[in-house]
Each structure stands twice: as C-alpha cells, then as structure tokens.
Amino acid sequence: MAASGRTTVELFYDVVSPYSWIAFEVLCRYKAKWNIDLKLKPFFLGGIMSGAGNKPPGLVPAKGKYFNKDLSRLGNYYSIPIVPPSNPQELMFVKGTLMPQRFLTAVDLQQPELVEDLSRQFWIRAWSKDQGIADEEDIRETCKDIGFPSDLMEDCLQKMKGERVKNRLKQFTTEALNLGAFGAPTIVTYVNNEREMIFGSDRFPILADMLNEEWMGPLTELSKAKL
C-alpha cells in the first residue's frame, strides 16, 4: 500500500510482449482516473517462462494461428497501433529483449520518470514499425526517436552491463516468480495489505473491483501510443 493512501499497482512487464503493451497503456491511462500509484517493474520474460515451466503462445500451433487476429482486435479496441513484426519468432526467440530490459532497468534506477515514454517507444518500434530493439544501436535509435537525453543514454548503456543493473532485473524477475507469475503482463496490487497477483491484459474489470474503482472501458481519448 502506498504511503500516500493511494493503492500501489505494480506492472511487471517485458517489451517483447504485446499483451504487456496493452496492460501498460491501460494502466497509464487509469492512473489519472483511479486512486493508484503505478509502479513499472521491467522483468525478463525469458526467465519467467523458464522458471514457471511455461510455453510461449507461438509454440502452440492453435495459439499461434489466433495470435495476429487477437492482437488486431485488441489494438483496435484499445487504440494501440499494434502491427505484428514480419518475423515475430526472431524478435521473441532469437534476438530477445534482454538488452532493452536491462537498459530500462538502468534508466529506472536513475530517472524512473523516463521509463514510461522509453518503454512505449520500444513497443512502438518492435510492435508497430517492425524495427529492431535488441542491440545497442537499436537502443540508441529508440532513444533518438523520443529525444532521450544523450548523456543519460550513454551512462545507462554503460551501467546496464554492470552487476547492479543485472541484479535488479533478476530481482524483479524473481519477485514476480515468487508471487506466482508465469507470463506477462503480471499485475500486482494490494487487498487488505496483502499482495494479490493478476495475470493478463483482460482482467481490468476484476482489478477495478479489487480496488473499489470503476472500470470505464479503454479510455482511448487518453491514448499516448501514437505513431
């Protein structure tokens, strides 16, 4: 529970996950409507899947076939410009997102107020523009896209290679696993001072009920996910 009397809502996410993008955008919209403090917690989805013994949807044929149609519907409903990349297997299983997740962690440790815009831009590049996010040059281009401070970028590119950042990313990943996470997005809130986990991007009416708040739909008028 937040000290201010507002309820803390924690979002554990990885920019490899388009469903995390949906949860991220919705919670960013609702932080202006609900009495919540939103805490963004980048974790490493690969570690979650391994630790929980889970399988990515793309490895289950029926789920993989449904994947693009589902994302198109959700993108339209929430006004999020989701366009699956030409080679999603390469993004998710070959290149991965360990480096951008470490970079987000480095930024979070220094200037957490910049994490929201940066996270959004990683998703826009990977899940709207079919552009890379996996290596250092991709990260530089992502930062350039949003006018991210160049001195902070260079500092975080160096610090993301250090143990403090690596351990922080492991910490959030382990924390989510200990709460019962098995995928992304994982949302955590507090009910009667106890942490409660919610999985997925389609449980917002349930979250609203837990928070004693009103679910008002996608709030597309508050969308910041624009190309």
pLDDT tens-place string over residues 130-183: 999 999 999 999 999 999 999 999 999 999 999 999 999 999 999 999 999 999
Query: Structural domain of residue 72, as residue ranges?
Result: 7-216
The answer to whether residue 1 scores a pLDDT higher than 80 is: no
pLDDT tens-place string over residues 94-128: 899 999 999 999 999 999 999 999 999 999 999 99
Is residue 26 a part of any domain in this protein? Answer: yes
How many Cβ atoms are within 10 Å of 195's Cβ, its own excluded?
13
What's the pLDDT score for residue 219? 97
CATH of the domain at 107: 3.40.30.10
What's the pLDDT score for residue 55? 78
What's the pLDDT score for residue 4? 60
Whether residue 133 contacts residue 14, with contact meaning beta carbons closer than 8 Å, is answered with no
In order, the DSSP letters of 160-210 are TTSHHHHHHHHHHHHHHHHTT--SS-EEEEEETTEEEEEESSS-HHHHHHH
Is residue 41 a part of any domain in this protein? Answer: yes
- 83 DSSP 8-state letter: -
* Domain count along the chain: 1
Is residue 223 a part of any domain in this protein? Answer: no
